[in-house]
Amino acid sequence: MVKLVVFDLDGTLLDTAYSLYLALRDALKDFGVEEPPFEVFKKHIGGGAYGFIAPFLPPEYHEEALMKLRHYYLTRYIDHPSARPFPGIVETLERLKEMGLHLAVATNKITEGAVRVLERKGLLNFFDVVAGRDLPKEHKPSPEHLFYILSALGGDLKPQNTLMVGDRSDDVECALKSGAYAGYALWGYNEDQLNVKPHFFIKTPIELPSLVANITRSV
């Protein structure tokens, strides 16, 4: 029986790609580096800020660039009008809460930034736990990210009671390694589908309540 749904953030709950791109553009400018095309940048979203800094700067600049990128994102672009919930997300979260489910966020973003953007976009109150890369001892794709959330929630929740929903292979791998159900969000910033083998491919957020109900009836 599914009792908990864990969502990725960027590319699953929120379409933040362009706001993140603008923050990267400003950070790269400080190093005299031209920003990549937007569509190239989008392919690197999913591993946190390190994941989309590394392809464009030498390793010795990563830490400094990371600090710059976070600063620019939080001070200039967190409220950018392009960043918004994907169509159907709000209605889906409302329905899942009505069904009595626990909801959580597992993101490779730093927790502070995740909480702030969720609050600004009106989604924070839906979630019982928000866990960024800095809280568990290992983050996605490690199963420790999900184990951290389960521990924080307490009670009798287990991986087999959990559906993880995300748009990247890290989300699928985390779910499978932990024993949770893996749902691949096809509306996000997807990789080649040949690289992922989730339990479910999900075309739109509004499919989720029915999917959860069907999983619950089948176990």
Residue 118 belongs to domain spanning: 4-15+84-218
Looking at residue 218, its pLDDT comes to 62
Final residue of a structural domain among 25, 54, 77: 77
- Verify that 107 and 145 share a domain, yes or no: yes
Final residue of a structural domain among 57, 77, 97: 77
C-alpha to C-alpha distance for 84 and 80, rounded to whole angstroms: 9
How many domains are there within the chain? 2
Looking at residue 189, its pLDDT comes to 87
**Residue 202 contacts residue 41 (beta carbons within 8 Å):** no
Q: Is 8 designated active site?
A: yes
Looking at residue 217, its pLDDT comes to 66
Looking at residue 50, its pLDDT comes to 75
Looking at residue 134, its pLDDT comes to 94
CA 57 and chain centroid, separation: 24
- Verify that 71 and 36 share a domain, yes or no: yes
Give the pLDDT of the chain (219 residues) as one tens digit per residue. Answer: 899 999 999 999 999 999 999 999 999 999 999 999 998 898 888 666 777 888 999 999 999 999 999 899 989 998 899 999 999 999 999 999 999 999 999 999 889 989 999 999 999 999 999 999 999 999 999 999 999 999 999 988 999 999 999 999 999 999 999 999 999 999 988 876 667 799 999 999 999 999 999 997 665
Q: Model pTM?
A: 0.92
Looking at residue 102, its pLDDT comes to 98
Looking at residue 208, its pLDDT comes to 97
Question: Of the residues 8, 15, 170, 171, which is catalytic?
Answer: 8
- Verify that 94 and 65 share a domain, yes or no: no
Final residue of a structural domain among 61, 77, 93: 77
Q: What are phi and psi of 138, to 5 degrees?
A: -140, 140
**In one letter, which amino acid is 80?**
H
CATH number for the domain harbouring residue 201: 3.40.50.1000
- Verify that 66 and 95 share a domain, yes or no: no
C-alpha to C-alpha distance for 161 and 192, rounded to whole angstroms: 28
Take residue 213 and report the two structure tokens written for it. 């109900």
Helix (H) or strand (E) holding 85: strand 84-85
Q: Which residues pair with 84 in a beta bridge?
A: 15
